[in-house]
Structure formats: structure tokens, C-alpha cells
Amino acid sequence: MKKRYILPFLLLSLGACKQDFLDQLDPNRVTVERFFETENDVLLAVNGMYEVLRKGNTLGEGSALFSEERSDNTGRNDNQSNAGLPFQFNDFSIAPSNPYLKDHWADMFQGIARCNTILSRIDQVTFSSEDMKKRYIAETRFVRALLYFHLVRKFGDLPISTVEVASKEQASELAFRQPEAVVYQQIVADLHDALDSDLPDTQVEYEVGRASKAAVHAILGQVYLTMGATLEDSGADEFQLAEQHLTATYNMRTFGKLNEIPYAQVFDVNRKMDCKELIFQVQHLQGDQNYSSSIARNNQARGETINSRYPSTGSGGNLTKDLVKDYEENDIRKDFSIRFATDPQVNDWFITKFRDNSNEAGDQGWGGNDWILIRYADVMLLLAEAKMNLGKDAEAIALLDEVRERAGLPSYALSRNNADYSSKYPTLKEAILHERRVELAFENHRWFDLVRNYDAQELVNYFKAKSQADYGNALLSNISTKDRYYPIPFDEYQLNPEKMYQNPGY
């Protein structure tokens, strides 16, 4: 089989291979050259591209280590398991040699490589409909942009590859970090190209779990919002574009007010195919050993049965007391999302947001929970943030109030009269951040919300103002301005210390 190179890793391990060996074809395997022959072949390749999003090392339900556990929502108090390597993320002590970080980088770029192969090969296939070809291209560009968007917020400057990499020499030429602003330009270009297609407005009109125009507009709006808040020489123009695209998604909703959709319904495995709040999700197959979800059983605490029929022996999904204290009184999201486990070996809070204790999931806990990547409450609060940055406070508050109303909470104006609320959230910015925290807890948004709203020093100040007792075993004192970004994995850095330069502080 002819060797394909995935930028930028694999260069060292393949450096000793001879070119004639790489060019040999395995008669027992289908090569890239021979695969893309029919329209159905492209469909299978696109399906395989979506499969990348399921992985815990990319954006799947098991990827909290790379986002949520970096934030003040969750973490892990066990600093011994696996040599304490996962603990490094929440402890702000992550080393460039951390193998979990390396695997995350590698699998994210592998997903990008799959996208590049599809885009590089699709022209060699004859389609019965040019619109279907454009649709597959749009889906592929959307996924590539999504992967790069997650990477750039974590690592900053990145190598960029938009073509199939077929040789060691080609990979070496592309293995250099480009500025954040350039990475964002590529993300924006991909998403705009995705909009230039016949993608339907919603996934329900196409197929649940596939890209739609609502999803593309939502990510593009979040991209512009992030650019406006974090990049130099960015600001009002990007916030206006964020407002434009997030509004486009909001206007595609098929419901009136958010409170028409009960909060519990959003996560109900029996409603995942028709819940009107869901915009884009990674699908799982209930009862199937290989394609089921394990998030319900993994978050289950010993002695509890609310999440799954799987008999847990652990403490379940860990969360910080800092988050527990951030829920307001009578917030229905608290009772649904977290619970205190009384088993003496646990005696702590655990996550109950993701549940499937059905007969179909069974005692093995092979759940049907889809992993939600985009939903309307998220979009509405992002839109509120964009409007706030444009000085449209009244419009921002109206969106904020709609989310709070569904949660059973008073309006922002009434809440401001509460001394505790006004003390904790003295500005509209902090009120929106708080609302996103409790609305979207455990959905892997929190770290990105923080780095979008606080620069490196503000982030340090924010964390160090917290109580260590409410944070767990991870040390708040460890955080410094370097922790705004992750380190570049050591194996990538040593390929070329000049072109793959390390982030400051590592």
C-alpha cells in the first residue's frame, strides 16, 4: 500500500524508509489511488471523516481532558493514576512530553489529513449531481475547520495543511507553525466555502449527525467572536460578523422560545433525533458494544443508579465545589446535571447530565447518548456575548433572560437586585460567562469561554482568586501566563525547533 503522510507527525518514525519501499502497493488492501472511483466511495470516505469526531482524543465525549478538565468546572483528584499524567492538565503542570497531549495533537491532525484526502481526490470521481459533490465538499471543509478551530485555541500558531500529503519531503515542507491569524483565515475560508453549497438549514432536513448551514453559521459566528476577542487588530468588525452569523443560526430555529424545550429533553436519548434544540451532534448506537456511548456509565458514582445500570465502583464524573457553588438557588439545571453521592467511598458530587439506564443499554451501560457539539442555548449566549461587545446590552440581556427563564430563574434585571448575584457577577460580561458555565457544564465549552474573555494575565488572576478548598487537589498556585496555551508536543518540537518553536514558558 502506498504510504500517506499525516502532517506533521510520523516524520521521525518514517525517516529511515526508502522511497521504493513506500511506493509499493499491498495487493490485499485498497489504496487511496484505487479507492475514489464512485460516488458511493466518496460517501464512505465522508462517513469515515465524521467517525474521527467520535474519538476521545479528538472532539468526542471522552475529550474532556483537553478542554473541560483544564477549566474550573471539572478535574481529577487522583494524581497517581497513569503516573499522574492526566492530572497535569487540571494542575497547570503539563509537560511537552505528556503522551496524552501528543495523542490529542496526532489524532486531530489525522482527522485533518482525512479531510485533505477527500478534498484532493474528489475531482477524480464522476457525480450524478454536481450539488451532491458540493455538499460533500462543504461537509469536509466544515469538519476540517472545526478541527483547526479547536487546535488553534489550544496551541496558538499551527502548521497548516490543506492538501493530501504523499511524501516525506512534502510533509517536511509543511511542518512549520503559522501565526494564529493565518490559521483563522484558513478556518474562515473553509466555513465560507461550506456555506456556498446546498447544505440544508438543519441536520434534521439532511441527516442527524451531519453538517448543516445552521451548524456552519454557528461555528463561523463563534470563530469571529473569538477572533474579535483574542487577536490583535481585531474587534468591532469581527464582532459584527459574529452577530451576523450567529443570528443566521438563531433564525433557522424551528421553535419559538427556548422554554418550549425542557432542559432534560436536550439530553434525552429518546429525543435525540427530533429535539429542536440540537444543531450538530456525534451519534452513538444504543446497545452496540462498539458504537454505543459510555458517558453515562463513566460518570456514574458508586452506589448510584441514575445514569446507568452499569454497577459503578468509582466516584463518577468529578466536578469542582467551585462549580457547585456557582449554581443559583432553584436552578433546575443543578438538580438535573449533578448529584451528591452518599456512598462513604465517594461522599462527593458527580455528573448526572448524561443518562441512559434503559433496557437497551443494559447492565454493560452501552448507552445511546449522542455527544452534542452545537445547540441553541449555546448559540444564544454566544450571540448575547457578541451583542454585548457591540454595545447592544438590551438585546444581549433579552437572550440571556430567555435562557434563564427556562432554567426557572428570574430575569437579569431582577437578579441584579440580589446582593449575592450582583457581587458575583458585577458586569454583563460576567453574568453571561456565569450563564454559559451552568447551562453548558460538562459540554467542553468552559475553557474556551475563559480564554476568549480573559487575556493571559487576567486568566491567572481569575484562577488565583478562587478558593483552593473548592478546587480539589490540583494546585491553583501553579497557573501562570504560559497556561493560556498548551505546549507543543515534544516530538513535534524536536522535528525542527526553529520552525516548530515551543510556546513561551515550556
Q: Which string of DSSP letters, residue by residue, matches 410-460?
A: --HHHHTTSHHHHHH--SHHHHHHHHHHHHSTTSS-HHHHHHHHS-HHHHH
DSSP letter at 319 equals B
Let me know if 26 is exposed, middle or buried by CB neighbors in 10 A (0-12, 13-18, 19+): exposed
Measured CA to CA, the distance from residue 204 to residue 217 in angstroms comes to: 16
Instruction: Return the pLDDT at 178.
Output: 98
Element (H, E) at 204: helix 203-206
User: Under a CB-based contact definition with an 8 Å cutoff, are residues 245 and 221 in contact?
Assistant: yes
* pLDDT score, position 32: 72
Q: Are 112 and 164 in contact (CB under 8 A)?
A: no
Please give the domain boundaries of the chain with CATH numbers for all domains: 1-198+454-506 (1.25.40.390)
Name residues of the chain where pLDDT drops below 70: 1-31
Residue 192 near residue 241, CB atoms below 8 Å: no
pLDDT for position 30? 55
Q: What is the pLDDT of residue 92?
A: 97
**Whole-number Cα distances in Å, 316 to 72, 308, 345, 366:** 17, 11, 11, 16
Cα separation values, 180 from 88, 129, 197, 249, Å: 25, 37, 27, 26
Q: What is the pLDDT of residues 388-406, one digit of tens each?
A: 999 999 999 999 999 999 9
Q: Which pTM does this prediction carry?
A: 0.94
pLDDT on residue 79: 86
pLDDT digits (tens, 9 = 90+) for 420-453: 999 999 999 999 999 999 999 999 999 999 999 9
The secondary structure of 85-102, three-state, reads: CCHHHHCCCCCCCCHHHH
